[in-house]
């Protein structure tokens, strides 16, 4: 299992706002799903995305840990799910933020052109390492993510904050 890990002395990642800033977005995030016979790594998940089909949009990134057998995100299956997620996340204030994610299983995500999480392999619902980012202006930032769920329960969450990390509300996402 690998997590994004930065030295304590590393400068915050500089996010690039969407240009132009989008308007008229639909709520939530767009998602495409693939249902491979098995998936154990992000590299495998990426290969399966070539055959992915659009799914019902995600409300945001606050999907609590499920019971084994419950559907993963908005997919039509509980197990062996690959999701390609895209859209925008809104930050209401400029400044330095700490961001982390919880996932079960793998997750690779970028915001504003910077990779903010690389959490590979199979694991229970647990948090990634936190990363510091600089948001140069309030507004929308592109978000792209690759997620996979193998077997058992599933979860996917994003937290961010300037002083204290909080769950990102669904209203902060659009596509």
Nearest 5 degrees, angle CA 34-CA 100-CA 95?
A: 125
The CATH number of 26-174 is which of 2.60.120.1560, 2.60.40.10, 2.70.70.10, 3.40.50.150? 2.60.120.1560
Confidence of residue 70 (pLDDT cuts 50, 70, 90): very high
Domain ranges of the chain: 26-174
For the chain, give the mean pLDDT: 93
Q: What does the alpha-carbon distance between residue 107 and residue 128 come to, in Å, rounded to a whole number?
A: 9
- Say what the pLDDT of residue 121 is: 85
94's tokens: 């400029």
The tens digit of pLDDT for each residue in 86-132 reads 999 999 999 999 999 999 999 999 999 999 999 998 889 999 999 99
Q: What does the alpha-carbon distance between residue 136 and residue 5 come to, in Å, rounded to a whole number?
A: 23
Beta-bridge partners for 75: none
User: Range with the lowest mean pLDDT among 19-33, 76-90, 115-129, 131-145?
Assistant: 115-129
């Amino acid at each position: 299992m690998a997590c994004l890990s930065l030295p304590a002395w590393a400068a915050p990642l500089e996010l690039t706002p969407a240009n132009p800033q989008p308007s008229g977005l639909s709520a939530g995030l767009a998602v495409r799903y693939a249902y491979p016979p098995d998936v154990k790594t992000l590299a495998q998940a990426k290969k399966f995305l070539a055959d992915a089909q659009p799914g019902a949009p995600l409300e945001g990134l606050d999907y609590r840990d499920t019971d084994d057998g419950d559907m993963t995100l908005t997919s039509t299956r509980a197990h062996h799910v690959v999701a390609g997620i895209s859209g925008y996340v809104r930050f209401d204030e400029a400044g330095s933020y700490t961001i982390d994610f919880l996932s079960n299983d793998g997750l690779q995500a970028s915001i504003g052109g910077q990779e903010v999480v690389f959490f590979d392999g199979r694991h229970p619902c647990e948090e990634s390492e936190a990363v510091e980012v600089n948001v140069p202006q309030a507004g929308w930032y592109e978000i792209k993510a690759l997620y996979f769920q193998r077997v058992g329960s599933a979860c996917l969450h994003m937290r961010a904050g300037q002083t204290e990390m909080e769950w990102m509300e669904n209203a902060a996402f659009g596509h």
